Structures are given as structure tokens and as C-alpha cells.
Amino acid sequence: MKSRTYLVPLRRSLGALLMGVACLALHAPGAHAAIDLLERPARQSPLAATSTMLTVARAGERLVAAGERGIVIYSDDRGATWKQATVPVSVTLTSLFFVSPQTGWAAGHDGVILTTGDGGASWQRQFDGRAGNRIVLQDLQARVEAARIAVDRADAATREAAGAALEAWTASLDDATAGAEFGPSRPLLGLWFRSAAEGLAVGAFGQVFHTADGGKSWTSRGGRIGNSEGYHYNAITALADGSLMIAGEAGKLRRSRDGGETWETLDTGYAGHLYGVLGLSGSRLLAFGFAGNALRSDDGGKTWQALPRLTAKALVGGSLLADGRVVLVAADRTLLISDDQGRSFTVKAGASGRPVAGVLPGPLQENRLLVVGAGGPAVLNLDSTTR
């Protein structure tokens, strides 16, 4: 199994740290019995709305947020008050996606995927890392076997390339086999659905899962992306032109123009984690990530320019406003605002408060963004004082 630093944004790392401490306690010598958080429903609490939330989405007019310990909350009054949902697991949830006011999905640690049919008020488990491990191993075993056949059939001109492919697939299978020994431990970090039937889930160590029946069954698609290193995928989003983009580790973006059937890799030239990408006007793209790094492309991802770093904190989310402005939000609530399609940004100090982990796409209302993080949801005013 690969050994490298798992650098992820606050919505992943903070939850992972706290959940890791909890798991150590549960499995420590003298503990009466290990608790399977995939089988333990989220605890109902009057303080749910102040829990650490890692992701937020719209379900029609309803707002839904999710985070630590499987806690999901929802609001029907623009975030003024929140109610807690019924959730069948206690693992950290990292991503939400809704295709209608009623139908949506959540994903998170231990490879869990949940679904809702009532706008996030109650959830049911569809998938977890145990099934994910089996699916990934089956897919990689088939690819290794196909690569062996290709080597046997290769002529002198193609034998070296065929051998390299076999070596890469064998290494990926070895890594996945070692990872599966730890159980359902690999988190899912991003969700995208084309419809109530078809969607994708992405996550750590190059996981990509596809469903064509609303989540009743899933297949592994990680092997369709050139990622023999097993780099993490932090988020997936659809751009205005219909293409899909995965933001991930090592400054890599993965783009699909055919709904996830095939992928190309875009190298931004940055070596760290990317947490998201925005499609601007025309073919312009804006990627953002760890330690305040942001990069802009004017030619659809062929070339990239690193923008000046205006904060040292992770850029955890971005939003395109109706008036054309682009907003990036840092983990410390710093706001980076551009009125020239990301060519330059003005730094505005966000309201003081606890760290931010996720941002609601689009404004909550005029000049206001809804963010989530430690302490629950909060509203940031874009008219705060320039710093």
C-alpha cells in the first residue's frame, strides 16, 4: 500500500483526524468491543447544527449540510434554523449531491454512499468500502489478466510497452490488495450525478465508482484514468460545457467530455493538492487548492498560469456570482474576489470565526455566501472590509 502524506482540505482532514482518534479509543486495549461506525446510526443531538460540517448543497429551496459522525442537518428557511436528519451510519460524510428537491446522495469515510428520497430528512445506505474493495479488486484482476495476454501476444515492437503496462497494473493490484486488508477504510470525497439513474463517486487512492441504476449497483472505473500512482481525487464537478472535471493530488485535473467513459489528464504544473475547479467564460478554467494556490488557464487546460498567492490557507471552495464575479473561500474565511474572470483577486477579510471546510455553490442571497466547517453553518458577507 502506498505510503505518502494524505494532504486533504479541512473538510476531509479535520474529520479524518477526529474520527481517527475515536477509532483508536474504540480499538484500544481494554475496550469492551469495537464499534462498526457503518452499522451505528448517527446520534440525535440538540447540538447537531453546531457540529463540524464538511459539505453543503441545495435540494431545491432546502439547504442540506453533512459532516462528522454521520450528522446531516437541513434548513427550509435559508439557514436560520436547522433540523437533524435520520442517518444509518456514524462515519464522517464529505460530499452531497442532489438531482431534484427530493433525490440526492451523500458519500464519505469507509467508502459509504447514502441516498435520500425526501430531500435529506432521512437516508439509506447503498454502498460502502467493503463492496468497494471487492469491486476494485475484481476490476484490477481482470486488467492484470488482460495485460498478461497482451504481453504474450506482443511483437518485438510492442513488447516493452506491454510489459510496462503489466507491471503498472500488477503494482496497482498489489496496492489495492494491501489496502483491502484494512477493511472499508478508504474515503470517498466527491459525487456527481447526471440524473436520478447515473452518477459517479470519486475518492482517495484513485477510487472511481459508477452507477447506472440510481446506486443499486456500482462498478469500478478507476482503471479508465491514467493514475498508476493511485493519486487521490478530492472533488468532481460538471462544467458549463458539459464536461466533467476531477480535482486531485499532484496538481492533476482529470477531464471527461463523454460523461465519464474516457478521461484525459491535465497537468497544471503545481505539485500539491487541488480541491476544486471552476469553469469561467469561454474556455477559461480556474483551479484552486492547498496553501492558497490557484491556477488559471485561458485555453481550456492546455497551459496554466499560477496566480499570486494571497493567503497561506487552503482554498476550500469557489463560487460564480450572477454579476460575473468569482469568489474563492479560504479555510480561515478569507475571501478572494475577482471581477475580471480570475485574472486578479481582491482580498477581503471574512468574519472572524471557526475554520471553513465547504462552500455552498452560488450565493445564499445577494452578497452572502453560506459556508460550513467547525461549529456548523455560517454566512459570510462579501461586503466585508478590504484587507
**What integer pLDDT is reported at residue 381 of this predicted model?**
86
CA distances (Å), origin 58, targets 69, 144, 268, 305, 364: 21, 42, 30, 32, 10
The helix (H) or strand (E) run that includes residue 380 is strand 376-381
Query: In the numeric block, which cell numbers belong to residue 223?
Result: 482503471
Asked if pLDDT for residue 377 goes beyond 70, the answer is yes
Across-strand partners of 320?
326
pLDDT tens-digit profile of 56-108? 999 999 999 999 999 999 999 999 999 999 999 999 999 999 999 999 999 99
Reported as a single tens digit per residue, the pLDDT across 240-299 is 899 999 999 999 999 999 999 999 999 999 999 999 999 998 899 999 999 999 999 999
The pLDDT value recorded for residue 353 is 76
Over range 112-132, report the average pLDDT.
Answer: 96
Please report the pLDDT score of residue 350 as a whole number. Answer: 64
In the predicted model, is pLDDT for residue 33 greater than 90? no
**Per-residue pLDDT tens digits for 3-30:** 444 444 444 444 433 333 333 333 334 4
Q: How far apart are CA 53 and CA 42, in angstroms?
A: 14
Mean pLDDT along residues 165-179: 87
Tell me the mean pLDDT in the region 108-118. 98
Identify the pLDDT of residue 385.
41
Please report which confidence band the pLDDT of residue 175 belongs to, taking 50, 70 and 90 as the band edges.
confident
Tell me how far apart the alpha carbons of residues 86 and 125 are, in angstroms, rounded to a whole number. Answer: 11
CB of 120 closer than 8 Å to CB of 175: no
Contacts 24+ apart (CB under 8 A), 192-195: 192/97, 192/236, 192/237, 192/238, 192/244, 193/97, 193/99, 193/105, 194/259, 195/99
Query: Which residues make beta-bridge pairs with 364?
Result: none
Query: Does the pLDDT at position 1 exceed 90?
Result: no
Consecutive H or E run containing 73 = strand 72-75
pLDDT (0 to 100) of residue 351: 63
Burial of 75: CB neighbours in 10 Å, binned 0-12, 13-18, 19+: buried
Choice between 351 and 222, residue whose per-residue pLDDT is larger: 222
CA 149 – CA 365 distance, rounded (Å): 58
The pLDDT value recorded for residue 25 is 31
pLDDT single digits (tens) 335-370: 999 999 999 999 987 667 789 999 998 888 888 899
Strand partners, 235: 247
Q: Nearest CA to 219 among 137, 325, 336, 124?
A: 137
Q: Dihedral of CA 320/203/356/56: which sign?
A: positive
Give the pLDDT confidence score for residue 104 in this predicted structure.
Answer: 98
The rounded distance, in Å, linking the Cα atoms of 160 and 99 is: 46
Cβ atoms of residues 21 and 61 within 8 Å: no
Would you state the pLDDT for residue 180? 83
CA angle 210, 216, 220 (to 5 degrees): 25
pTM (2 d.p.): 0.88
β partners of residue 278: 286
Predicted confidence band of residue 186 (pLDDT cuts 50, 70, 90): very high
Dihedral sign computed on CA atoms, order 154, 160, 162, 167: positive
The secondary structure of the chain in percent helix, strand, coil, rounded to multiples of 5, reads 20, 35, 45
Residue 340 backbone phi and psi in degrees, to 5: -130, 40
The pLDDT, as a whole number, for residue 9 is 46
Q: What is the mean pLDDT of the chain?
A: 88
**pLDDT, greater one: 353 or 142:** 142
Kindly state the average pLDDT of the residues 120-138.
Answer: 94
Counting Cα atoms < 13 Å in the Cβ hemisphere of 126 gives 21
